[in-house]
Structure 1
């Protein structure tokens, strides 16, 4: 009887909505494609791609002049109906040369026949420095052609610790925030504690997942008017 009860308990746990499930890329349609990640068959079903094209950082030899370091795939014609060009920012002090390079890359992707939706900035903006990030994004938005959207990645603790005034200034500046629920190659264990509060930011948001990580959607997510879906970070399989 004890064995039978244990089996029923295990079956109930596996079938429970609260049980975490592995993130299977084939269940999704939007993906980050990062430098060094090999192509996967799942890309054939993708409708949206976020393609890394470079990082902006300061060289050790010249800390005063940030540069764009090209990364990711070469410009090519992609079949997906929506393409975001992604830049990993290690500094917000972009010289004019970097802006020209970024917009030049975007234009080349467009000229290759791609439906470029916009630019995404991947920057780890800690909550206490969020105001500086807002100022940078406002300036970038003013430089972007009206036809391009602006996406940013966001940290989950923004929903709890960010200055509400700084967050409110992002409205009308960014078109979406993709909230990262992972760090490195692993899902953050307590993501469920933060996500229910994301709707309070008043910004359209997507949830970023790591391929092979763990994920269970909070009940509040499907009811949020700000939730726009998922983006899966593809990684090389072990």
Structure 2
């Protein structure tokens, strides 16, 4: 009976271990394994937000006409215990001057409510062929940002593989970090491994954005990349 009992106990412990580790070994992005998250408009915060150390929260969006910032998070978040980024999603680089004024106002409001505010992130899908234009836009934006705010941007994986190194170098000294997107919609982009193997070509500190539930196996090169700073998970509502 003692041998049978030990066998049952071993089986139960094995089942519990598989249950606890299954998400980590499944090749899928589990928010429980991470501490930094994107929180977009309309996404219901889960328990991972409460324990997060860093949040990127969408404040608003600049539409194609560039006329104004459409507010998507009207109240400044009060999160004293977290590092926080105010994110502006933009469809254009042709901003009305009033857009920058509104962003600066929002940054001041967020900083007053959340002392852990790091700065501004611009979320823009800059094609590799037009990265030089984007770098010029960012230099102008950096010039009007108060020095206490850091500047973050999202980036495409294609930059690491195909961007001109001299153009990539123009980001250095202007932006403080690049968060490279490895997904589109709810799905990880196929072939992400071969792009991220070359991420060290981006000469500023960089993170990789993952989508909740998306396929993921960490490329070995990331852990030896001296400028790699970890992951940010884009949270989703259940489908």
Q: TM-score range by the shorter chain?
A: 0.7 to 0.9
Cα offset, 1:198, TM superposition:
0.7
Structure with more helix by fraction: 2
Please name the residue that 2:127 is paired with: 126
Partners of 1:160 and 1:109 in 2: CA distance: 36
Which of the numbers 25, 30, 34 marks the counterpart of 1:24?
A: 30
Q: Are the counterparts in 2 of residues 128 and 162 from structure 1 also a CA contact under 8 Å?
A: yes
Deviation at 1:42, TM superposition (A): 0.9
Counterpart in the other structure of 1:41: 47
Q: CA deviation at 1:146?
A: 0.8
| Structure 1: unaligned runs, 5 residues or longer | 1-14
* Structure 2 Cα separation of the partners of residues 68 and 215 of structure 1: 34
For 1:38-96, what per-residue CA distance to the aligned partner results, in whole angstroms no more than 9, with x for missing partners?
110111110000000001123xxxx4x52110113621311442100000011111122
Does residue 81 of structure 1 match 2:82?
yes
Shift of residue 20, structure 1, vs aligned partner: 6.1
CA distance in 2 between partners of 1:139 and 1:90 (Å): 17
Q: How far does residue 163 in structure 1 lie from its aligned partner after superposition? A: 1.8
Instruction: Report if the CA contact (8 A) 2:80-2:114 is conserved.
Output: no
Equivalent residues in 2 for 1:76-115, closer than 5 Å? 76-115=77-116
User: In the aligned structure 1, how far is the partner of 2:103 from the partner of 2:206?
Assistant: 24
Question: When the two structures are superposed, what TM-score results if normalisation uses the length of structure 2?
Answer: 0.87
The answer (yes or no) to whether the contact 1:34–1:72 under 8 Å persists in 2 is no
What corresponds to 1:12 in structure 2? Answer: none
Corresponding residue pairs, total: 216
* Distance in 1 separating the partners of 2:27 and 2:74: 31
Q: Match for residue 12 of structure 2?
A: none
CA deviation string 1:137-181 (max 9, x = no partner): 000111111111000000001011112221110001011000100
How far the C-alpha of 1:125 sits from its partner, in A, is 0.2
Per-residue CA distance 1:171-224 (angstroms, 9 max, x = gap): 010110001000011011210010010102222100100001011111111011
Moved over 3 A (4+): none
Aligned 8 A contact 1:20 1:216 in 2:
no
Q: Which residue of 2 aligns with 1:163?
A: 164
8 Å CA contact retained: 2:187, 2:211: yes
Question: Structure 2: 5+ residue runs without aligned partners?
Answer: 1-20
- Which residue number in structure 2 is paired with residue 117 of structure 1? 118
